[in-house]
Structure 1
Amino acid sequence: MTQPAVPRHILPVLVTAQFAGTSLWFAVNAVMPDLQRELGWPASAVGPLTSSLQFGFIVGTLVFALLAIADRFAPRRVFLFCALAGAACTVGAWAMVTQYEALLVWRFLTGVFLAGIYPVGMKIAAQWYTRGLGGALGLLIGALVLGSASAHALRALSGTLPWPTLMLGVAALAAAGGLLLFFTTHDAPHAHARVTTLQWRALATVWTDGRVRASVLGYFGHMWELYTMWVMVPLVLATRLQGADLSWAAFWVLGAGAIGCAGGGWVAQRWGSARVASVQLAISGLCCLATPLVIDATAPLFYGWLLLWGITVSGDSPQFSTLTARNAPPQAVGSVLTLTNSIGFGISIVSILLFVSLSQAVSLGVLLPWLALGPALGLWAMGRLVREERQKVTGFR
């Protein structure tokens, strides 16, 4: 049975809406240098603000998963509501920006509503693209990566754009993304009927189903490395650059992950998602291990290393989500993806706090190779899925 033709505008709309919605993620981080200058906040103030949003996202995804929000209600409506609510929270943060405690609350709430944007966008893609999902999610998560990296570009531009314009502009962009998705698309014709009960047994497949467990553990290993690498890249670049040059370099290094996502999605349609995810995970792990050799190397080798790391550290993410969506119970794809995101971001917070703390006393050349523990776990877990893909291609049983 062939997949019904998907209208051409669906994927561009999904990608645009995902980029717009997830731009809320680092809206405040991008303007923190201006706020620190105007309000006298210490440089350490950005840490709690970032963690506040991350904790909000973890709480939101956990609640969304346990209550099966993305599977009990129309995903387009969930996406619209959360995009508008997240935009409203950013406007609230703008209105109360001088009150640091209130800002922490607004960022926490923004994280909660992001739980209805990022995972729900993947759920919508999974409904439309029953085949070719790896390619679709490659573009979709590539948009997320580019949107997240854009915080560094915004920081580089902050000298020419006032911070209120940036914050309100991001809020308007997120709201527009939700409205665009809702009014220019419709539910997939072959979408599974929405469930009416909680999906406890389906959520348990994260551990009880061997295939789901393999992709989920691979994703957890990826999350140990990903966001910590993103946090540490500016510290690595600061050994050679400063100011706007540093921000632009960080944008290009982290934004290069969109190439890994989109290119990996294209290759996965011919080679298989498990193998593409494993190759990129292995390369990013080797980049971790190479840190002592290249951190003081010549400029071409140094920047080439960072670009390769930036491409591969994000490029495997869509394929982990593709594998999980394919193997999870069809009626609970949204909930399983959301629960996986919740646990994965919890792992990332532990990793970030650990490595940032250790970076005060341990050199980057000694510290960063330990990020390779995540890719090592992920590669071990993905072995089963890689073997199955090889067997399908060669015809061996």
Structure 2
Amino acid sequence: MPIVIIAIAEWFGTALWFTPNAVIDDLQRLWQLSSGDLGWLTGAVQFGFLLGTLALGLSGLADRTRASRLFALACLIGALSNALLPYANGLESAVGLRVVTGLSLAGIYPIGMKLMVGWAPKRTGLGLAWLVGMLVLGTAMPHLLAGIHWGGNWRLTLWLASLLTLIAGIAVWRLGDAPSEPRASPSTSSRLAGLGAFRIADFRRAAGAYFGHMWELYTLWTLIPLLLIAADPTISSRTLALTSFALIAIGAPGCWFGGWTSQYLGSCRVAAAGLTGSALCCLAYPWLAPHIGYAPLVGFLGLWSLLAVIDSPQFSALSAGACPPTLIGSALTLQNAIGFAISAASIGLLVPALSTWGATIAWWLLPGPLLGLVGLYRIGKPSRMAHVEPV
């Protein structure tokens, strides 16, 4: 039951992530935004997430405080900042609110992983697969909400996402932490806590693979509505929203299938399969997009989206497995911080360039999964560096 509660709370809490993307047409009319401004709104969340995860990962708070309380507080802050977005008077104030939303997500996503590891210590790959699958649904949720007719009131899309986040915070507050959850003392978390994990060879390798994966994933999800518009400029807002939801949400069953498969093949092999598949999609998209019809293109984007995220929980499982229990929270949070910094850079550089590069933008995503495969290759092999115990 705790695993189900945490997974559903992650789904509801991460509904904040892409709310502007789901109502971008309305925001463009309201604030006279260009298509490139979507990158600023999404990048602001990634930047806020980076700041929050750095603070939690380096301070050791992720391991020294009760994860359930931290998660609930983050949900409250995120729900409020998201609910205020319709009252922003332009792009600058909207970007500020999205930074705050990103800060709150730093207490939802990686802290949710810490909670899941605590409640399912012997099924980490499977538990994290369920959690990341729910993250995928949460990321896609605003598109589903936007596709529902609310009497023309697009603001309800944002407010319902905030309501879901509040429900998530209350559920985890009531659940609490795992009874056997170890908590780091200030003395073990004082030396820029999460950095200690990078002294562990297999953590470095798993984290490096995750960093390559993050160059691709969120930029792809940000591009999906724009790629659909490029393929069919006459697409209606409702069809765009529902199709975008489906193309992102398809990653959820992919994560769950990957988690089930990891019980038999291991996390490393599942992650390698996902990276290889998404690399092939990056390579093929510019060749296929101009020559296939709209329906096959949507199918291809769905396959690409699934392969791009199926490996995500397995990187976290590999990283968690390489860390001592008292470092898991800080290590995973810091890993997320660096990964989302890479993601923010990728979004900021590539999304505004879509109008120039067109379908060939997919080739600029390709280095991510290729570098990820390099990181996975050496997991489990002797390190050239002397082993140093984490601090």
TM-score (norm 2): 0.90
Measured against aligned partners, the alpha-carbon deviations of 1:79-101 in whole angstroms (never above 9, x if no partner) come to 1111112112223334x333543
Q: Distance in 2 between matches of 1:349 and 1:114?
A: 14
Q: 1:383 aligns with which of 373, 377, 389?
A: 377
Q: Distance in 1 between matches of 2:264 and 2:59?
A: 36
Give the corresponding residue for 2:180: 190
Name whichever of 100-109 and 76-85 sits farther off: 100-109
Give the corresponding residue for 2:301: 306
Measured against aligned partners, the alpha-carbon deviations of 1:287-324 in whole angstroms (never above 9, x if no partner) come to 11111332122456433322211111011100001111
1:47 equivalent in alignment to 2:39: yes
CA drift at 1:239: 3.5
- The answer on whether the counterparts of 1:206 and 1:216 sit within 8 Å (CA) in structure 2 is no
- The answer on whether the counterparts of 2:69 and 2:176 sit within 8 Å (CA) in structure 1 is no
- The answer on whether the counterparts of 2:39 and 2:348 sit within 8 Å (CA) in structure 1 is no
CA drift at 1:43: 4.2
- The answer on whether the counterparts of 2:71 and 2:108 sit within 8 Å (CA) in structure 1 is yes
- The answer on whether the counterparts of 1:127 and 1:188 sit within 8 Å (CA) in structure 2 is yes
1:385/1:239 Cα in 2 relative to 1: closer, same or farther (>3 Å)?
Answer: same
SS of 2:23's equivalent in the other structure is helix
1:159/1:376 Cα in 2 relative to 1: closer, same or farther (>3 Å)?
Answer: same
1:74 equivalent in alignment to 2:69: no
Q: Distance in 1 between matches of 2:31 and 2:350?
A: 28
Q: 1:37 aligns with which of 29, 32, 40?
A: 29
Give the corresponding residue for 2:118: 127
- The answer on whether the counterparts of 2:72 and 2:173 sit within 8 Å (CA) in structure 1 is yes
- The answer on whether the counterparts of 2:39 and 2:352 sit within 8 Å (CA) in structure 1 is no
* RMSD value, Cα: 2.1
1:344 equivalent in alignment to 2:339: yes
SS of 1:362's equivalent in the other structure is helix
Identity across the alignment (%): 37
Give the corresponding residue for 2:78: 86
1:23 equivalent in alignment to 2:19: no
Q: What residue ranges of structure 1 are gaps of 5+ in the alignment?
A: 1-8, 389-397
Q: What residue ranges of structure 2 are gaps of 5+ in the alignment?
A: 383-391
Q: Distance in 2 between matches of 1:205 and 1:194?
A: 13
1:319 equivalent in alignment to 2:277: no
| Aligned positions of 1:1-397 closer than 5 A | 9-94=1-86, 96-157=87-148, 160=151, 162-183=153-174, 185-197=175-187, 198-200=189-191, 203-241=194-232, 242-243=235-236, 244-295=238-289, 296-299=291-294, 301-364=296-359, 366-385=360-379
Q: Distance in 2 between matches of 1:362 and 1:99?
A: 28
Name whichever of 214-223 and 155-164 sits farther off: 155-164
Q: Distance in 2 between matches of 1:297 and 1:43?
A: 25
- The answer on whether the counterparts of 1:355 and 1:367 sit within 8 Å (CA) in structure 2 is yes
1:238/1:167 Cα in 2 relative to 1: closer, same or farther (>3 Å)?
Answer: closer
Measured against aligned partners, the alpha-carbon deviations of 1:218-273 in whole angstroms (never above 9, x if no partner) come to 10010011111112222322233322223322221111111211110011011101
Q: Distance in 2 between matches of 1:345 and 1:249?
A: 25
1:306/1:164 Cα in 2 relative to 1: closer, same or farther (>3 Å)?
Answer: closer
Q: How many residues align?
A: 377
Q: Distance in 1 between matches of 2:90 and 2:365?
A: 36
TM-score (norm 1): 0.89
1:245/1:201 Cα in 2 relative to 1: closer, same or farther (>3 Å)?
Answer: closer
Q: After TM superposition, what 4+ stretches of structure 1 lie above 6 angstroms from structure 2?
A: none
- The answer on whether the counterparts of 1:24 and 1:87 sit within 8 Å (CA) in structure 2 is yes
Q: Distance in 2 between matches of 1:39 and 1:373?
A: 35
Measured against aligned partners, the alpha-carbon deviations of 1:336-377 in whole angstroms (never above 9, x if no partner) come to 11111111111112112222243232231x331231211111
1:157/1:112 Cα in 2 relative to 1: closer, same or farther (>3 Å)?
Answer: same
Measured against aligned partners, the alpha-carbon deviations of 1:91-145 in whole angstroms (never above 9, x if no partner) come to 3334x33354333222211111111110000000111111111111111111111
CA drift at 1:23: 1.0
Name whichever of 278-287 and 80-89 sits farther off: 80-89
Q: Which AA in structure 2 matches 1:252?
A: A
Q: Distance in 2 between matches of 1:167 and 1:238?
A: 22
Give the corresponding residue for 1:394: none
Q: Distance in 2 between matches of 1:51 and 1:16?
A: 25
1:158/1:18 Cα in 2 relative to 1: closer, same or farther (>3 Å)?
Answer: same
SS of 1:360's equivalent in the other structure is helix
- The answer on whether the counterparts of 2:119 and 2:178 sit within 8 Å (CA) in structure 1 is yes
- The answer on whether the counterparts of 1:207 and 1:213 sit within 8 Å (CA) in structure 2 is yes
Q: Distance in 2 between matches of 1:118 and 1:304?
A: 29
Higher relative contact order (CA 8 A, sep 6+): 2
- The answer on whether the counterparts of 1:202 and 1:329 sit within 8 Å (CA) in structure 2 is no
Q: Distance in 2 between matches of 1:328 and 1:339?
A: 13
Name whichever of 168-177 and 267-276 sits farther off: 168-177
1:83/1:372 Cα in 2 relative to 1: closer, same or farther (>3 Å)?
Answer: same
CA drift at 1:24: 1.5
1:154/1:256 Cα in 2 relative to 1: closer, same or farther (>3 Å)?
Answer: same
- The answer on whether the counterparts of 1:218 and 1:377 sit within 8 Å (CA) in structure 2 is yes
Q: Which AA in structure 1 matches 2:139?
A: S
